Amino acid sequence: RVPGTPAAPDFTIPDLDGKDVRFSDHKGKVVLVNFWATWCPPCRAEMPELLQAARDYPDLALLAVNVAEAPAAVSEFAAQFRMDVPVVIDPQGTISDRYNVSGLPTSVFLDENGVIMDVRPGAIDRGVIDAVLGR
C-alpha cells in the first residue's frame, strides 16, 4: 500500500441468500462497491452497465450494496435486473457511513490491495468504468 492512501473499510454482511459477503474475500481483484436504492432513477439507469462491465472484466468484482431497504424490494429489483453479482443490504446505513457516502448512487473503486482508487458520486457509465480501470 502506498503511504497516505486510504484502505477501504472491510465489512461482512449477508447477501440476499443469507451467505456472508466479505470485502476482503475479493483481494487480488479490482472491486467496484456500488451503493444504490431501488427508488433511485439514476441507480436503475446505471445498473445494466455495471453488470455488463462485471461480466466483461473477469478481474473486476462488483458488490451491489443496497442502502436501507426492505429485502422484498431489493430481491424484486435484483430479479428484474438479473443481478448475477453479490447483492447485500446495508440495513442501518453502517457501511455507507463508513465509506462516507452522501448520495445515491455512489461507486467506490478499490484496487487489488483494497486501497480506494476512486470515488464517483452519481450515476456512472461504461466510459467511466473503462477510464478508472485503465482500459
pLDDT band at 108 (very low <50, low <70, confident <90, very high): very high
pLDDT at 2 over 80: no
Share of the chain above pLDDT 70, in %: 96
Please report how the helices 41-56 and 126-133 are oriented relative to each other, as an axis angle in degrees rounded to 10: 50
d(CA 119, CA 13): 21
pLDDT for 1 equals 45
Nearest by Cα to 34 from 99, 82, 112:
99
Decide: helix, strand or coil at residue 10: coil
Average pLDDT over residues 108-116: 92
The C-alpha atoms of residue 87 and residue 62 are separated, in whole angstroms, by 9
- If pLDDT is split at 50, 70 and 90, which confidence band does 4 have? low
What value does the mean pLDDT take over residues 52-66?
96
Rg (CA), the chain: 14
